[in-house]
Amino acid sequence: MQPLLKENNCFNYAKIEKLFILKEMVETSLKVPFLDLQKVNSRFQDQFQDTLSAILDSGWFILGDKVEAFEKDFAEYCGVKHSVAVANGLEAIVLILKALNVEKGDEIIVPANTYIASILAISQVGAIPILCEPEENSFNINTLLIEEKITQRTKAIMPVHLYGQLADMAEIYNIAKKWKLSIIEDAAQSHGASKENGKKAGNLSDAAAFSFYPGKNLGALGDGGAITTNDHSLMEKIKILRNYGSKFKYENLYKGFNSRLDEIQAAFLSIKLQYLDQDNQRRREIAEIYTNTIKNKHIRLPKKPAFTKSHVWHLFVLRTINRDDLQKFLTSKGIQTVVHYPIPPHKQRAYSEFNNLELPITERIHKEVLSLPISPVMSNEQVQYVVDCLNEYKVNE
Ligand SMILES: *Cc1c(COP(=O)(O)O)cnc(C)c1O
């Protein structure tokens, strides 16, 4: 396989672009789209239309009854005391960091293989992301490597429940307690994931950030996000920060943001929240079929979690050293796949200060991962077709 990383440690963009072009070429014979958002949302069309009419009649469009109702519904769903709805997942993290008084030069320990938004949020408040290698079986932060990263400047640990699977929160809690650090969950991919004791993502830290980007397990018809917490004063501060730093109109306590959720999105989300558990269960069924019936010596399947409900399968991510070839093969079969993610944050041009860091596990993951279609609206026939094609795949040696 060709090396993906160029000598100067910057990423080979030309190669990535080629993969995208390939995907476009087969659009006409697409048998299994990666994620059919039309189908996901058309299930709720009548309910969406009714609520839209009601909102049009009300004439109130930002931070109103619908947002308050969704905040209540979502807090209840996550089992927390409070939820604050905001504009998107990235800003949910930024607002938590701000509310926890994270400042310039403070350090936040975060998995090196996360989606870029976790890292961007840390940068946006002037703090420094301290990149920690993941554990290969779960793709989540390796808790054995956290303590060696702690310094005088460390303020918080920010685990990401990557691809939908809970990080080892019990161990992270022990470390945070010992070193008096805050914990922030990036729960943008893990709506509904739950521990054996029934505690869910969003209720396993000081504050958690969710995204309702359309492709997430709970997705709006546009951007959206939320913060969950059991800390009353943190919730109050975040509510003020999301609205210009103002509690009473034209009076500003903090240098705040505009990060508010629309009434329309909140109302749509309240409708879809009722079906989240059902949708997650369907994702688990598909993951079960994939893991039990894909048998190919060139493919390493994701490890089943010890506790089924700790994973909501936002993504089904396999590994193979023939990743680009396998993607091409599946494309030719009309199966759309995506790489999450092709370039690790520390190899991005935007993070040139980190380009020389050595994070071999993270780098290998980025070269080998491929995400198969998985969504609540996939048919059994589609699932079986994906399995059949993967079992048929051969490597030309
Ligand atoms: C999607 C995502 C975010 C950002 O959410 P947006 O709503 O797109 O801003 C943050 N972290 C992770 C891990 C994500 O997957």
- Tell me if the pTM is above 0.85: yes
Q: Which atom of ligand 1 is nearest to the CA of 93?
A: 10
What integer pLDDT is reported at residue 20 of this predicted model?
A: 54
Would you say residue 49 has pLDDT above 50? yes
Closest atom, ligand 1, to C-alpha of 160: 13
Q: Whose CA is nearest to atom 2 of ligand 1?
A: 188
Q: Which residues line ligand 1 (CB under 6 A)?
A: 88-90, 114-115, 117-118, 160, 186, 188-189, 211, 213, 223, 225
For residue 24, the model assigns a pLDDT of 52
Q: What is the mean pLDDT of residues 59-65?
A: 97
User: Which string of b and e fits 361-372 if b means at least 16 CB within 10 Å?
Assistant: bbbebbbbbbbb
Report the residue among 124, 211, 340 best suited for mutation to probe ligand 1: largest number of ligand atoms under 8 A from its CB: 211
* pLDDT tens readout for residues 260-292: 999 999 999 999 999 999 999 999 999 999 999
Q: How far apart are the first and last CA of the chain?
A: 11
Residue 5 has pLDDT above 50, yes or no: no
Mean pLDDT of the chain: 94
Residue nearest to atom 5 of ligand 1 (CA): 89
CA of 250 to the centre of ligand 1 (A): 31
Q: Are 221 and 268 in contact (CB under 8 A)?
A: yes
What 3 state SS string does the chain have?
CCCCECCCCCECHHHHHHHHHHHHHCHHHCCECCCCHHHHHHCCHHHHHHHHHHHHHHCCCECCHHHHHHHHHHHHHHCCCEEEEECCHHHHHHHHHHHCCCCCCCEEEEECCCCHHHHHHHHHCCCEEEEECECCCCCCECHHHCHHHCCCCEEEECCECHHHECCCHHHHHHHHHHHCCEEEEECCCCCCCECCCCCECCCCCCEEEEECCCCCCCCCCCCCEEEEECCHHHHHHHHHHCECCECCCCCECCCCCECCCEHHHHHHHHHHHCCHHHHHHHHHHHHHHHHHHCCCCCCECCCCCCCHHHECCCCEEEECCCHHHHHHHHHHCCECCECCCCCCHHHCHHHHHHCCCCCHHHHHHHHHEEEECCCCCCCHHHHHHHHHHHHHCCCCC
**Gyration radius of the chain over CA positions:** 21
Closest atom of ligand 1 to CA, residue 211:
7
- Of 123, 186, 313, which is best to mutate to test ligand 1, by the most ligand atoms within 8 angstroms of its C-beta? 186
pLDDT beyond 80 at 22: no
Give me ligand 1 centre to Cα 249, in Å.
30
pLDDT-derived band at 17 (thresholds 50, 70, 90) equals: low
Distance 161 CA to ligand 1 centre (A): 11
293 Cα: distance to centroid of ligand 1 (angstroms): 31
Cα 47 to averaged position of ligand 1 atoms, centre (Å) = 26
Q: How confident is the model at residue 29 (pLDDT cuts 50, 70, 90)?
A: confident
Give me the pLDDT at residue 15, please. Answer: 53
State which of 93, 95, 114, 118 you would mutate to test the pocket of ligand 1, scoring each by most atoms of that ligand within 8 A of its C-beta.
Answer: 118
pLDDT classification of 10: cutoffs 50, 70, 90: very low
The model's pLDDT over 157-180, given as tens digits with 9 standing for 90+, comes to 999 999 999 999 999 999 999 999
